[in-house]
Structure formats: C-alpha cells, structure tokens
Structure 1
C-alpha cells in the first residue's frame, strides 16, 4: 500500500534583529489613555506593571536601513544556506506579514510589489514556476501559510514550499500608547517538502475566524496623544482586556479540535510552540487547554517562551522559536526525531489556528 504524502519541515531559518530595546527606552515616553488623558501613574509603575503582565523585558528592532522584506530575506537565506537547498527548486514562497515594508521615519505602508516578490528578487531565484505571494492573516499568518503549503504539497501541485513570517512592528506603533512596548521586529522561515510517509510531518490542523463579534479587538487608529489627533497617521491598536478574554475562551478549543482531528492525545505532545503574544496570556491559555483534559497544571518545559527577550514580533514569533530550538540555541529545550509538537497562534481578525506535527 502506498504511503500517505506528508508535509515535512526540512529546513528552518531566522533573523533576530541586532538592536536591543530594553524597557528603560520608554522611561521618558508620555503615555495616554484612549480618551487622550495622561495615564495617572508614573512611568516607573507603568513599566513594572507591563513586565509583570507580559513578561517582556526587552525586544528587538530592525536597523534603520532594514525593512520587513530585508528581514524576511535574511531568514529565508538562513534556511537555504543551513540546509543546502537550492532556492531554484522552490515551488512556492509564501510570506506572512501585516504591514508590508515601512521605511524608517515614516508610517506609510508599502505593499507593491508584494514582499514575496521582493524576497524572491533578493534571493535571485529566477525560476518562473516558483510562485511568490503574500498572506495577511494577523499574527497567525505564518501558521496559516504552513497550512496552505500543506495543501499544495498533498495535492501534488508542489514538492517544496518556503513559508516566511516577517514583521517590523516598531514602525507602526504609537509611542504614546503603552501597548507599543509589546511589539517587536523579526523574521523566521521554514521549507516544507512532500514526503511519502505515515509517521512524520503535519498530522492535522484547525483554523477558525471569529470576525463578526471580534474583528475590532485589533485595529488601526490615531495616536492617543491629544495634540496628534488631527494627524492622519494610523497605528496598531489593541483592546487588550477583551482580547485576553477572547483568547482564553477560544484558543484552547481550537487546539483541542486539532488534537482530536489528528487522533493525538495531549499527553503525547512534547512541545507547544505558541505565538509569543503575552507571557501571562500564553500561560493562561495552556492552563485552560489542560483543564479541558481534567488537569490543573502543565509542565513548564512543554511550552518554550522567548518573549521576555524578543518581544512580540507577530507572524515571526513561532518560526523564530522553532529555528532557535532546532539549532540548539535555546537552553534546556530540544525537539527530537519522533516528537509530536503543536503550533498555535491567535491574532487580528480574530483568527486562531493550530497544527499537530510529528518531527
């Protein structure tokens, strides 16, 4: 009997920007509430509360001469060079992002041509049958790109796909909104191949979108600073409290749906690579997942976290985390052959997705 076609990750790459931004960078910022009133706390208190909630101590920003497509290119280059794969053999390059390229010192989104086209050009891939396209899907964009690549590979339309998650959020955040301290820049990439096997690769996945009731939890809006209200620039805005409540209710359910679809027990999962959105929220999500199985706690090593040093780089958090672990750059964390792992993400839309994968 012929083995199933599975989508298998054969290469990973990442680019972690060199510029380290500690929380003291924000000590002299003027923070305002949504209504334009100054926050009635000292910046020292604001920074301390922020760290306790998000666990973020520092984040990475792109250099002034780097853009999102540059970061995506560097992650893709790392995946190709570390694996020895020829870029000309790629059938698809899927690039997940939210804002395209935004030049330093501006707030303008640049999406023509697509980031995928720009990255293909930077990689100097001449093969016209290598199709390059963008995928805007909020923070879950990279995970959804892997799901799309899986369909191409299983259908026989492709033999090899690259999926990149790249973002430079530091240029689309409002310096007068305390939420700006969450966001960061980075890029990660994987290459998937179609492999005839039964016990490796993507076992199942699940995606949900809850737009009707929750599309306005992450939006674009003007600066919170009153004197900037007449300006036309828009910045990423988040209803943090409601987003937190939404994630705790819906993300665990989607994760369980993916596990059930794969016929995999939660206790067989060796690692959970979840979108690095907020340290406290991610922990609460995983606690809710275990409660669905009648457990109150989960082992800390199950869910590796790097948000404290890298911040929230949206679509880049999961692939950079994966690359860091697979290349032995994260102390105390490893993924071994045969391990079943779970990818999960939640973000603007609101969208949620999860993938059950066997290494």
Structure 2
C-alpha cells in the first residue's frame, strides 16, 4: 500500500501591505449605484469587527499569479532538496489566471501551471502541468487529485500550488473588495510506504443547483457615464455565510468519519481564511455536531487579520507558516492529526484529514 505524505511546504507573502486606513478616502456604493452615506472611518471599523481584517497584501505591479506561484514552488522545492525534473505532476489552483495590473483581463493561455513549469526550468515532458479552477477550495481539491495519482501508482511526486491576485479583479467601489488579497502557497506531496502519516481521508461537495450564483462576476457599482465591459468579483455575503454554516461542518464530520476519527482526535482545524467571524462560527457549529463545549480558539490558527482572503492561497500559506514555526503558539509535531477545509464559488466545499 502507498500513502501520500507532505514532504515540504512553501509560500510567498507579497510585501505590499495595504491597511484599512488606506481606504479612508474611498467612496463605496450599493449594487444599485447609490453612494453609501456611512463615514469611511465608521465603515472600516465595522468591517474589521466582523471580518477580523486589519490589513492585507497585494502583489507588486510587476507580479502576476504565475510569478507568485513560482516563488512558493521554489521555496518548497528548495526545502525538500529535490530535483524539479523528478516531478510527475505540477497542479496549480487559481480562479483568474494571470491578470496584469490595471488591466482587469484574465489570461489563461498558456496555463499558469505551464508558466510555472517553464519558470522552474523543468524540461521533462512527463511532468504534467495543469490548472484547476474550483473556487477557494481549489488548492485543497488539487491536493486531493494529487493524492489519487499517488495512491493509484500513477505518480510518485506532485507539486500542488495555490496562487491568486484578487487585487486585480475587485471593484474599488464595493465594500466586499476590502476582504480580498494576493498570495501563494505550495506543498510537495510524495509517495511513501503505508504507515501512520499522510492523507487519511477527504470529502468534497458541489452545491450548484441552488447556490452557484452566490459568488460570481459582475459590473462595478460606481455610476459610470459609459457602460464598462469590465467585470469584478461579486458575492452575496449574507447568504454565503448562512450556506457555509449549514454545510461546511457536516462535510468536515464526513471526512473524519471516513478516517474513523472523532473531533477529539484532531490537533488543528485549518479553515480557509475567508472571514474571522464566519470561521469562529464554523468551528463552534462543528463542536455542536459532536456535542462538545465551546472550542479552544488555539485549535484554529488565524492569518486573515494581516493577510486577508487570498482565496486558494490561504490554506497552503497557513500550513507553511505553521510548519516553519512562523505563527506564535502554533506548531505541528509527529502524530498530530489536522483537518483542512474550504468553501467557495461553485458552491464547493471540501475537507481533508491529514496525520503528521
């Protein structure tokens, strides 16, 4: 039997810090194009109280998603000390491909994965590079796919990357734009003899029939003299929050059931960093499923306060920061079992159980 084991991690956190106070001069509008009368300072205080976000990171003007992904990939490969030519698969999760600054135009040809493979200097044609678009859960779903390749014997070594530059596709007139950020993360997944460590179980759902429209692209909110062809990331925040609370804990529980484990066996719960208030509520709802008391917040590491929501990059970045000992009072040791879970456009949900 073969097990899929994470042997290295990497991430790239952009160095452009954008604080909430940087938006004090912004004018926000409703979807109907009506100016929001609330003072920006009050609005920003309300925003931080709900989301937990005080600042976020944006890519430099000369960087696109493929450059961010390449930097995370290089860090993971250097940490592992392996030859990139030995990779069997290079899978990149994103939602918008490369978007040049001030362009609002998506480019996916060639794929981001092909661009990163070229950037790594990999000549081996048997290293298959492809993209996966699955909303915010994309990186975790790519990890699940890599696990299938390894468990089937199709692959021995896969590099799984999440990279996004959401700052290029947000509407500056929309309050929801304050949530989003840029970044990248990567893990190296390798085949190992079956043992106690590795991916134990996973579960994925797609709720498209009723909920596909909760996240999508739409026109800007600010009134324009001429209709613009540009489209921006839009979401129905309240319904998305309700959807997540109703469905995500059950998906996590299903994954744990598949692994034959209880929540009490879990050392850390790593949730997609979408909204601090929502993540706290998700953890509490998960504990309610097991009839446990209130959860210890240390069980759920949080980075959204200073990194914002970088979509597919939030989970691999969070994991890398913990593995490198860069989060205060957060660490993982041999024998620890963690759950990773995400929810996003589609609407898609996934959860994966991993033991170190």
Q: TM-score over 0.5 for the alignment?
A: yes
Partner of 1:77: 74
Where structure 1 has 5 or more consecutive residues not aligned to the other structure, the ranges are none
Instruction: Give the distance between the partners of 2:37 and 2:246, measured in 1 at CA.
Output: 31
Instruction: Give the distance between the partners of 1:229 and 1:66, measured in 2 at CA.
Output: 30
The TM-score, its normalising length taken from structure 2, stands at 0.99
Out of 289-298 and 88-97, give the one that drifted further: 289-298
Instruction: Give the 5 Å matches for 1:52-71.
Output: 52-71=49-68
Instruction: Say whether 1:44 aligns with 2:41.
Output: yes
- Contact persistence 1:204–1:261 (CA under 8 A): yes
Partner of 2:296: 299
State which of 192, 196, 203 in structure 1 corresponds to 2:193: 196
Instruction: Give the 5 Å matches for 1:1-359.
Output: 4-227=1-224, 230-359=227-356
The list of structure 1 runs, each at least 4 consecutive aligned residues, that deviate by more than 4 angstroms after superposition, is none
Instruction: Give the distance between the partners of 1:296 and 1:307, measured in 2 at CA.
Output: 25
Deviation at 1:175, TM superposition (A): 0.1
Where structure 2 has 5 or more consecutive residues not aligned to the other structure, the ranges are none
Deviation at 1:194, TM superposition (A): 1.0
Deviation at 1:358, TM superposition (A): 0.3
Instruction: Give the distance between the partners of 2:228 and 2:75, measured in 1 at CA.
Output: 40
Instruction: Give the distance between the partners of 1:212 and 1:19, measured in 2 at CA.
Output: 39
Classify the secondary structure of the residue corresponding to 1:252: helix
Instruction: Give the distance between the partners of 1:296 and 1:228, measured in 2 at CA.
Output: 55
Q: Residues 272 and 229 of structure 1: is their aligned pair in 2 closer, same or farther, counting only changes over 3 Å? A: farther
Instruction: Give the distance between the partners of 1:198 and 1:209, measured in 2 at CA.
Output: 31
Deviation at 1:285, TM superposition (A): 0.5
- Contact persistence 1:222–1:229 (CA under 8 A): no
Deviation at 1:82, TM superposition (A): 1.5
- Contact persistence 1:153–1:194 (CA under 8 A): yes
Instruction: Give the distance between the partners of 1:270 and 1:101, measured in 2 at CA.
Output: 36
State the superposition RMSD in angstroms: 0.8
Deviation at 1:198, TM superposition (A): 2.6
- Contact persistence 1:72–1:119 (CA under 8 A): yes
Deviation track 1:42-72 (CA, whole Å, cap 9, x = no partner) reads 1111101100110000000000100000000
Deviation track 1:217-251 (CA, whole Å, cap 9, x = no partner) reads 00100000112671000000010000000000000
Deviation at 1:40, TM superposition (A): 2.4
Instruction: Give the distance between the partners of 2:94 and 2:293, measured in 1 at CA.
Output: 35
Aligned length: 356
Instruction: Give the distance between the partners of 1:72 and 1:229, measured in 2 at CA.
Output: 36
Instruction: Give the distance between the partners of 2:67 and 2:75, measured in 1 at CA.
Output: 12
Classify the secondary structure of the residue corresponding to 2:99: coil
Deviation at 1:296, TM superposition (A): 3.5
Instruction: Give the distance between the partners of 1:277 and 1:85, measured in 2 at CA.
Output: 33
Classify the secondary structure of the residue corresponding to 2:291: coil
Deviation track 1:139-160 (CA, whole Å, cap 9, x = no partner) reads 0000000000000000000000
